[in-house]
């Protein structure tokens, strides 16, 4: 298991293009590769959502070029309901797995975790390289399903059985589309398990001298906690995918009950349990939302502390709350299944921890707000996006209180209320965390500064846009607007078509605003102002080395850590802060 082939101490830097940039063992290159993958994935997912939104707003609109995506699904470039569902499934899957998991956790975590703990690299660089390339293959397999006869699966990112398990009889894409989906997600799980293995061992075993656990920056804690969640969650999703594939290709009956008739055809399966898939899936699925959000919590804390120039009210409480969220995340998954037909008593049993998990989440929010109160926050794009994260997290989180109660959830389940809830609290919040991290760490990752004016413009357009898109979802949901319907032209939802049009316009404009970010990212990468070593006067170890860092991070001189991660508001030799590896004494003695 132990990789010892990379040589240590005074080894030469990697030579050749392939070793340096493609099959690199360097955690920083792997982190950037993950970031690039997430960027491609998020653009794909966003285009898919535009197509869906266009159809929801203007159901009879022919979308030029739609037949390129699916011949059967778009006669005359008009979207069929099946194609709508296929786009929706791929949007959800790509965003959750290949963006919200890869960017905040795998991309930033790979790049910065080893540096922040003071290590040259992760302990198993080969596993690390495999982790990325396996994830990349998973993405290719997922995209490949666009190119099979029936197109991708239409079962939603949750892929509920039995319709996901019986094959093509359940609709276009439910045959080979589901098999490709399950194979892709199974492969993805392997990649994330390898990544988590590296993250956990890096945090526990690779820390520099003096870097005790309590001296780890909050980002490092967040990645560590996330990798613990990921390790257990992905280890459960993988067997679920294996069982799903077996139901397809080997004719087993894990998820299909006896005597099931689909499309007038009696299914040959017998004796399986439909609920089993939901249990296995949500045992992964709920922790997964914390895989997406906890790294964001770490990034936001890190960015805010640096820009407030003072530490959080209590870093220990922050860490304990993130830990509590991780622990509780396994006991709440049943709240996705209140209307699944499971025992009402279990609904109650899942409702309690669901309400309890809001306590650590609230504590974290209050820690941020309490620490912000009265601070002279430096307003830059990174800190704006961190504030935006808090805003989205709170706005989306509040609707969670309603959904956590089975009696109310029966009304709101499978409506746009839920869609609005999870997009704000998990998706947009996590994306804001990614943006915050990007604007904050870009100088370190590339050695170039990003344009702050464009950044702030990008923030305000995205911030206002995200609310315009997702706030109306809640009202639609309360009105009874069901999710996953391709169009609402002939029924009681006709009057809300105007709202859908408004959301569509907002989505297109907000999406267009991301071009500013893309331009900023690419332009700054090549022509940006050179970044100094420590542009934000931050204290953690990544700011003590050149930008971009050399291949062995610390140039062969391992750092020694003398201080807590956030020594701000003190009298140091360089200003109002003391770096973690600075031997000068701190007035607080930490």
Partner 1 sequence: MVRENMATTVHQPPQIRTRPDPSRLGQGRNGGGNPTRAGGSPRVALDDSSPASRTGIWVAIAAITMTFAAFTSALVVRQGASLEAWHLVLPRILYLNTLILLASSVTLKIARRRFRSFLLGAEGERVAVLRGLYATLALGLLFLAGQYMAWMQLKAQGLYLATNPDSSFLYLFTAVHGLHVLGGLAGLLHAIRQLGRSDLRASTLAATSHYWHFMDILWLYLLFVLWMRL
> Using CB under 8 A, which residues numbered 206 to 265 contact partner 1?
206-213, 215, 231-232, 234-236, 238-240, 242-243, 246, 250-254, 257-258
Please give the Cα distance from 147 to 124 (Å, whole number). Answer: 36
Choose, by CB under 8 A, the member of 57, 104, 272, 437 that binds partner 1: 272
- How far apart CA 174 and CA 92 sit, in angstroms, is 16
Cβ–Cβ < 8 Å for 239, 280: yes
Binding test (CB under 8 A) with partner 1, winner from 288, 542, 552, 564 = 552
Whether the CA torsion 395, 396, 399, 400 is positive or negative: it is negative
Nearest of 97, 562, 575 to residue 378 by alpha carbon: 575
Closest approach, Cβ 316 to partner 1, in A, equals 16
Kindly tell me which of 236 and 506 has the beta carbon lying closer to partner 1. Answer: 236
Whether 580 contacts 587, CB under 8 Å: no
3-state helix, strand, coil in the chain (%, to 5): 65, 0, 35
Taking alpha carbons only, the member of 34, 398, 367, 450 closest to residue 223 is 34
Position among 273, 340, 358, 537 found at the interface with partner 1 (CB under 8 A): 273
Report the nearest approach of partner 1 to the CB of residue 480 (Å): 33
Smallest separation, CB 335 to partner 1 (Å): 18
Q: Residue 561 and residue 8: Cα distance in Å, rounded?
A: 21
Say if residue 340 is exposed, middle or buried (CB neighbours under 10 Å; 0-12, 13-18, 19+).
middle
Cβ distance to partner 1 smaller for residue 271 or 532: 271
Q: Encoding tokens for residue 504?
A: 């569509």
Q: Using the minimum distance from each CB to partner 1, give the nearer residue, 125 or 396.
A: 125
- 490-549: contacts with partner 1 (CB under 8 A): none
Name the packing angle between helices 27-57 and 497-527 (round to 10°): 150
Q: Rule CB under 8 A: is residue 275 a binding residue for partner 1?
A: yes
User: Ramachandran region of residue 241, left (φ > 0), alpha (ψ -120 to 50) or beta?
Assistant: alpha
Q: Say how far apart CA 63 and CA 76 lie, in whole Å.
A: 9
Which residue, 10 or 376, is less far from partner 1 as judged by CB?
10
Nearest distance from residue 115's CB to partner 1, in Å? Answer: 11
> Which of 44, 49, 116, 196 forms a contact with partner 1 (CB under 8 A)?
196
Specify the stretch interacting with partner 1 by CB under 8 A; choose among 54-62, 65-73, 202-210, 418-426: 202-210
Q: Say if CB 454 and CB 426 are below 8 A apart.
A: no
- 150 or 247, CB closer to partner 1? 247
- Shortest Å distance, C-beta 284 to partner 1: 9
Binding partner 1 (rule: CB under 8 A), the pick from 36, 149, 169, 205 is 205
Nearer to partner 1, 7 or 407 (CB): 7
Q: How many residues make contact with partner 1 (CB under 8 A)?
A: 77
Q: How far is the CB of 447 from partner 1 (least distance, A)?
A: 19
**What are the distances in angstroms from CA 41 to CA 161, 166, 230, 293?**
26, 29, 20, 18
Q: Is 118 in the site for partner 1 (CB under 8 A)?
A: yes
With a CB cutoff of 8 Å and minimum separation 6, the contacts of 178 are 153, 155, 159, 164, 165, 167, 244, 248
Does residue 323 touch partner 1 according to CB under 8 A? no
| Piece in contact with partner 1 (CB under 8 A), picked from 266-274, 308-316, 463-471, 527-535 | 266-274
**Cβ proximity of 14 and 551 under 8 Å:** yes
> Shortest distance, CB of residue 116 to partner 1, whole angstroms?
12
270 binds partner 1 per the rule CB under 8 A: yes
Give strand ranges (E) for 452-573. 567-568
Alpha helices (runs of H) in 14-158, residue ranges in sequence order? 17, 27-57, 81-93, 108-117, 125-144
Cβ closer to partner 1: 241 or 292?
241
Contact positions with partner 1 (CB under 8 A) in 437-466 = none
* Closer Cβ to partner 1, 25 or 66, answer by number: 25
Q: Considering the complex, what minimum distance in angstroms separates the CB of residue 422 from partner 1? A: 24
Q: How far is the CB of 197 from partner 1 (least distance, A)?
A: 5
Given the complex with partner 1, which of 214 and 574 has the nearer CB atom? 214
Whether the CA torsion 154, 155, 159, 161 is positive or negative: it is negative
Among 123, 295, 455, 511, binds partner 1 (CB under 8 A): 123
Candidate list 67, 279, 456, 523; residue touching partner 1; CB under 8 A: 279
**Residue 271 engages partner 1 in binding (rule: CB under 8 A):** yes
Stretch that binds partner 1, among 134-142, 196-204, 316-324, 405-413 (CB under 8 A): 196-204
CA distance 217 to 319: 10
User: How far apart (Å, rounded) are the C-alpha atoms in residues 559 and 62?
Assistant: 61
Cβ neighbours of 359 (radius 10 Å): 13
Binding flag, residue 280, partner 1 (CB under 8 A): yes
Which of 253/510 has CB closer to partner 1?
253
Within residues 1-40, the interface with partner 1 by CB under 8 A covers 1-9, 11-16, 19, 24-26, 29
Q: C-beta of 246: minimal distance to partner 1 in Å?
A: 7
Structure-token pair, residue 380: 């830059």
- CA distance linking residue 479 with residue 426, whole number of Å: 23
Smallest distance, partner 1 to C-beta of residue 400, A = 26
Site for partner 1, residues 397 to 426, rule: CB under 8 A: none
Q: Which tokens in the block code for residue 358?
A: 């809001």
């Amino acid at each position: 298991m132990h990789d010892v082939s990379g040589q240590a101490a005074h080894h030469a830097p990697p030579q050749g293009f392939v070793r340096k940039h493609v099959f690199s063992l360097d955690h920083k290159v792997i982190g950037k590769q993950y970031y690039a993958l997430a960027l491609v994935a998020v653009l794909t997912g966003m285009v898919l959502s535009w197509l869906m939104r266009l159809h929801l707003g203007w159901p009879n609109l022919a979308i030029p070029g739609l037949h390129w995506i699916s011949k059967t699904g778009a006669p005359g470039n008009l979207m069929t309901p099946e194609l709508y569902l296929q786009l929706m499934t791929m949007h959800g899957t790509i965003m959750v797995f290949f963006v919200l998991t890869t960017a905040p956790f795998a991309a930033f975590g790979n790049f910065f975790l080893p540096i922040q703990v003071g290590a040259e690299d992760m302990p198993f660089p080969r596993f690390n390289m495999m982790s990325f390339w396996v994830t990349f293959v998973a993405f290719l397999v997922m995209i490949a399903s666009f190119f099979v006869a029936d197109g991708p699966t239409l079962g939603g990112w949750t892929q509920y059985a039995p319709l996901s398990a019986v094959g093509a009889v359940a609709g276009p894409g439910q045959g080979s589309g589901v098999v490709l989906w399950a194979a892709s997600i199974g492969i993805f799980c392997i990649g994330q398990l390898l990544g988590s293995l590296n993250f956990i061992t890096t945090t526990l075993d690779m820390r520099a001298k003096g870097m005790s656990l309590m001296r780890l920056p909050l980002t490092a804690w967040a990645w560590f906690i996330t990798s613990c969640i990921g390790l257990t969650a992905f280890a459960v999703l993988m067997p679920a995918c294996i069982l799903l594939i077996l139901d397809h290709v080997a004719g087993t009956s894990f998820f299909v009950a006896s005597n099931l008739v689909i499309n007038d055809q009696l299914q040959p399966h017998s004796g399986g349990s439909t609920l089993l898939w939901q249990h296995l899936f949500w045992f992964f699925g709920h922790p997964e939302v914390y895989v997406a959000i906890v790294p964001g919590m770490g990034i936001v804390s890190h960015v805010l502390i640096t820009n407030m120039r003072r530490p959080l009210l209590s870093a220990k409480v922050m860490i304990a709350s993130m830990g509590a969220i991780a622990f509780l995340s396994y006991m709440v998954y049943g709240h996705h299944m209140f209307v699944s037909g499971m025992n009402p008593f279990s609904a109650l049993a899942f409702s309690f921890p669901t309400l309890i998990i809001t306590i650590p989440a609230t504590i974290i929010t209050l820690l941020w707000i309490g620490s912000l109160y009265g601070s002279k926050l430096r307003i830059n794009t990174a800190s704006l996006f961190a504030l935006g994260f808090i805003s989205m997290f709170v706005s989306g989180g509040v609707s969670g209180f309603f959904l956590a109660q089975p009696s109310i959830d029966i009304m709101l389940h499978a409506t746009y209320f839920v869609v609005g809830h999870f997009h704000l609290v998990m998706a947009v919040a996590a994306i804001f965390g990614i943006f915050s991290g990007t604007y904050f760490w870009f100088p370190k990752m590339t050695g170039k500064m990003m344009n702050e004016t464009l950044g702030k413009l990008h923030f305000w357009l995205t911030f206002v846009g995200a609310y315009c898109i997702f706030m109306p979802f809640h009202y639609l949901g309360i009105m009874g607007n069901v999710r996953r319907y391709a169009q609402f032209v002939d029924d009681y939802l006709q009057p809300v078509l105007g709202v859908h049009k408004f959301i569509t316009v907002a989505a297109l404009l907000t999406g267009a605003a991301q071009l500013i970010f893309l331009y900023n990212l690419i332009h700054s990468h090549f022509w940006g102002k050179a970044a100094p070593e420590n542009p934000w006067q931050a204290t953690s170890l990544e700011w003590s080395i050149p930008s971009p860092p050399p291949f062995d991070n610390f140039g062969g001189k391992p750092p020694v850590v003398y201080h807590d991660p956030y020594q701000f508001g003190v009298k140091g030799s360089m200003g109002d802060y003391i770096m973690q590896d600075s031997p000068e004494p701190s007035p607080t003695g930490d």
